[in-house]
């Protein structure tokens, strides 16, 4: 067995204290997102893990790209018929997480996902390069396929079909909006005594703030 017990790092870059945080987690998310971007060292600061509960009862997580966020929630795009798409449509409870290692930070968001309105999916789809649009049509995401060749051939066929024409968004492809109900901010600190601040949405729509033991 590979011994990784010497992989050890002390986290000393920052701290997260109650007297410096906003009442609303989206404001703090905004601050941390751009701080991570400006600090550098994270290639895709908008890459996040989304965990879903599958039709088989197992949780599964994978990386997707966050494309928009605001007070309402967090938007990403995918194939609605993919494994994650089917999982979300059957159980919309999901968990998003970000690990911004350069700032020694993690954010974990529990939320409820819903399809974005068609107009939002259309706008985003239309903003993509033609290659990505065709890729979305070609890929029946998460289905078993016979070979790489199969994909390349399908792409070639579609390139000819749509040459000089507008490429429409397929109905099976679009956005999900994740409306947050709980957001946890984790800041690495020395001696494994990290800062953890959790926001929970109350029935009166006020965010309750608690510090959690690391
Ligand atoms: C950096 C990165 C970004 C990705 N972005 C997306 C994305 O925005 N949407 C998407 O559907 N898949 C994206 N993927 C692929 C997913 O991780 C996953 O393989 C795919 O969505 C199929 O997942 P599923 O079979 O669990 O539905 C990305 C993967 C990586 C590594």
pLDDT in tens, 148-202: 999 999 999 999 999 999 999 999 999 999 999 999 999 999 999 999 999 999 9
Quick: pLDDT tens for 52-104. 999 999 999 999 999 999 999 999 999 999 999 999 999 999 999 999 999 99
Quick: pLDDT tens for 135-150. 999 999 999 999 999 9
Ligand 1: centre distance to CA 176 (Å): 13
Q: What's the mean pLDDT when you consider all of the chain? A: 97
Q: Is the CB of 52 under 6 A from ligand 1?
A: no
Of 192, 196, 198, 211, which residue is the catalytic one?
192
Q: Which atom of ligand 1 is nearest to the CA of 85?
A: 27
Q: Is the pTM of this model over 0.75?
A: yes
* Cβ–Cβ < 8 Å for 107, 120: no
Residue with token string 């968004």: 169
Give the mutation target among 51, 78, 88, 177 for probing the ligand 1 site: most ligand atoms within 8 A of CB: 78
* Cβ–Cβ < 8 Å for 69, 116: no
| DSSP codes, 116-135 | PPHHHHHHHHHHS-HHHHHH
* Cβ–Cβ < 8 Å for 69, 1: no
Give the mutation target among 44, 62, 96, 137 for probing the ligand 1 site: most ligand atoms within 8 A of CB: 62
Task: Please give the pLDDT value at position 35.
Answer: 97
**Catalytic (active site) residue 198:** no
Q: Is the CB of 211 under 6 A from ligand 1?
A: no
């Amino acid at each position: 067995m590979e011994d990784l017990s010497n992989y050890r790092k002390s986290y000393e870059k920052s701290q997260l204290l109650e007297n410096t945080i906003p009442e609303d987690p989206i404001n703090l998310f905004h601050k941390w997102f751009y701080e991570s971007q400006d600090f550098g060292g994270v290639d895709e600061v908008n890459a996040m893990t989304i965990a879903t509960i599958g039709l088989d009862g197992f949780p599964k997580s994978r990386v997707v790209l966050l494309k928009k966020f605001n007070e309402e929630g967090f938007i990403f795009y995918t194939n609605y018929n993919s494994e994650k798409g089917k999982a979300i449509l059957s159980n919309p409870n999901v968990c998003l997480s970000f690990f911004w290692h350069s700032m020694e930070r993690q954010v974990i968001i529990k939320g409820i996902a819903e399809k974005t309105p068609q107009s939002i999916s259309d706008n985003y789809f239309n903003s993509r390069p033609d290659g990505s649009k065709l890729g979305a049509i070609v890929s029946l995401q998460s289905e078993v396929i016979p070979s790489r060749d199969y994909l390349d051939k399908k792409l070639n066929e579609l390139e000819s079909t749509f040459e000089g024409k507008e490429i429409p968004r397929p109905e099976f492809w679009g956005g999900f909006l994740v409306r947050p109900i709980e957001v946890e901010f984790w800041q690495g600190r020395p001696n494994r005594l990290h800062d953890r601040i959790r926001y929970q949405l109350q029935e009166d729509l006020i965010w309750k703030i608690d510090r959690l033991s690391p």
